[in-house]
Amino acid sequence: MPVTIVTGGTFGLGTSIALQLAKRGHNVVAFGLRQAQVSSTAAGFEAFEAEVERQGLAERLEIMEADVSRSDDVVKVVDRTLSRFGRVDGLVNNAAIGPLGTVLDTEEGLFDSIFAVNVRGTYLMSKAVLPHMIRQGGGSIVNIGSGAGYGKPNMAAYASSKGAILALSTAMAYDHFHDHVRVNVAIPGGGGIVSGMSVGRVGGDEAFFKSRKVAGTVAGRPADGEDLANAVAFLLSDDAATISGTVVDVGCFANQGGPVPVKQ
């Protein structure tokens, strides 16, 4: 069984990814913080623990409390993964916070927190697992990006952090090409995705995504966590053995300035 770590795996989209991977046969270590994250309405730690038990996945899905922006916590997660499962084959860098705001109305402390989680967290986790993947002969890293990474209004700090993820991912894909470590980006949303972060940005109104106010996807509906999880599972799998340095857009046109306009 492949062994995969999911950061931010205890909230929102991360829970969908962790559950989907476990159901597909991965041994998973999902970690995050217990408290609700800024601007997110995602259900908490306890709700995820209950869902793991309900689906009978506790044998291959371990939940840990840890802060991705702290190097000692990251080491603790990797050490636990190795002690329980013996290896690390995959890493999903999903942990992120995304409050809205322009440069003018984003406080310095909040700006630093966004980069600490979204960028430093990705760097710390990748740095911690890469030696093990290289020693094993390869692995796969999937970084969760955003259409905001190409620039969107009222998302100055979040957009710049996700732009950094695009650049970091491509650099890592080049650097570890000959180590057989694949590094790709999955972008959720585009036409709107139902997640704790996106729902939080519209005042907690999930019905907003079922209205005519969002374009949704080519499937005729907004994307959800399972859609993203399916793409992540593919990128981690042997079916994607030759794919690295690629952006998979789960939400239609997010990497081309999308989403598409709402149908009038």
Task: List the chain pLDDT tens, one digit each, 264 residues.
Answer: 999 999 999 988 999 999 999 999 999 999 998 876 665 555 567 888 999 999 999 999 999 999 999 999 999 999 999 999 999 999 999 999 988 999 999 999 999 999 999 999 999 999 999 999 999 999 999 999 998 999 888 999 999 999 999 999 999 999 999 999 999 999 987 655 655 455 444 455 556 545 556 667 888 888 889 999 999 999 999 999 999 999 999 987 766 656 666 666
Whether the CB-CB separation of 223 and 251 falls below 8 Å is answered with yes
Q: Is residue 72 part of a domain?
A: yes
Range of the domain at 187: 3-256
Q: Residue with structure tokens 């689906």? A: 55
Concatenated DSSP letters for 35-76? Answer: SPPTT-----HHHHHHHHHHTT-TTTEEEEE--TT-HHHHHH
Known catalytic residues are 158
Q: Is residue 173 part of a domain?
A: yes
pLDDT value of position 124: 98
Chain Cα centroid distance, residue 4: 13
Q: 216: which 2 tokens?
A: 């949704």
pLDDT number for residue 212: 54
Asked whether residue 129 is domain-assigned, the answer is yes
* Domain-embedded: residue 263: no
The Cα 224–Cα 13 span in angstroms is 8
The pLDDT score that the predictor gives to residue 199 is 46
Residue 238 within a domain: yes
* Three-state secondary structure call for residue 15: helix
Whole-model pTM: value is 0.89
| Residue 41 resides in a domain | yes
Taking the C-alpha atoms of residue 233 and residue 253, their distance in angstroms, rounded to an integer, is 21
What per-residue confidence (pLDDT) applies to 200? 45
- 28 in a domain, yes or no? yes
Does residue 264 fall inside a structural domain? no
CATH of the domain at 141: 3.40.50.720
**E strand or H helix at 91, and its extent?**
strand 90-93
CB 16 within 8 A of CB 43: no
**Tally of domains within the chain:** 1
Residue found under tokens 């704790």:
196
